[in-house]
Structure 1
C-alpha cells in the first residue's frame, strides 16, 4: 500500500492510502498517524478515495488512529469512502465512531 501525506495547516494533514488496507499494510497507517500526532498534526483526515479494500485489520488501524489523534488533543475523520469501504463501515457500525465526510476539504469545517 502506498500512503500519501499532505499537510493541511500547522495542525492538520490528509493521509491517502492507495490499494488495500489489510493485515500486511495496517501498521504503515498506524505508524504514520503516530508520527504525525507526535509532530503536532492532530487534526487528521484519512481520504479513502484511492482505497480498494479494507479488512478488519485495516479497520483496527483506523480506530487506533482515532484513539491516537484524540489522545493528542485532536481528531481523525474519514472522507471520500468508496461504496465497498462505506458498506464495511456501516456493517461494523464504525460509521458511528469514525465520522465520514464527502471530501477531505470539508472534514473539519465544523471545527
Structure 2
C-alpha cells in the first residue's frame, strides 16, 4: 500500500471550536486520499475535554477510511493529560516529526 502522509500542525488551545475545525480538516484530508495523518501538537499549549473528544473523532475518521493517525511533539501538560485520561494508550506518539519519519517510513 502506498503511503500518503499528511502532517497537520496545530497551535494554541484545542477546545470545542478548534476541535470542530479539526474534524472538518481531517475529513478533507481523508477525502484527498491521505492514509496516514500526523498531528503535530508542538504549538498546542492546552487541550480541554472537547479537544480530547476531537482527537478521538479524528482517529475514528481515519480508521473508517482504513487510515492511521499519529501524534507528535506533545508538551508536558498535554502528556500528563493523555496519561490521566488513558489517551496515551490510544494514540501512538512520537517525540517529533523526525522520529515519526524514521519509524514510519522505514517500517513500511
Indicate whether the TM-score tops 0.5. yes
Q: CA deviation at 1:14?
A: 0.7
Aligned partner (choices 60, 66, 74) of residue 67 of structure 2:
74
The alignment's TM-score, normalised by the length of structure 2, stands at 0.88
Distance across 2 between alignment mates of 1:42 and 1:57? 24
Distance across 1 between alignment mates of 2:75 and 2:35? 24
Larger Rg: 2
Where does the alignment leave 5 or more consecutive residues of structure 1 unmatched? Answer: 1-8
Alignment match, 2:44: 51
Distance across 1 between alignment mates of 2:18 and 2:31? 21
Q: Would the aligned equivalents of 2:3 and 2:35 in 1 still touch at CA under 8 Å? A: no
Q: CA deviation at 1:105?
A: 3.2
How many residues are aligned here? 103
Q: CA deviation at 1:104?
A: 2.1
Greater fraction helix: 2
Distance across 2 between alignment mates of 1:71 and 1:25? 22
Q: Would the aligned equivalents of 1:46 and 1:104 in 2 still touch at CA under 8 Å? A: no
State the superposition RMSD in angstroms.
Answer: 1.6
Where does the alignment leave 5 or more consecutive residues of structure 2 unmatched? Answer: none
Task: Give the match's secondary structure for 1:25.
Answer: helix
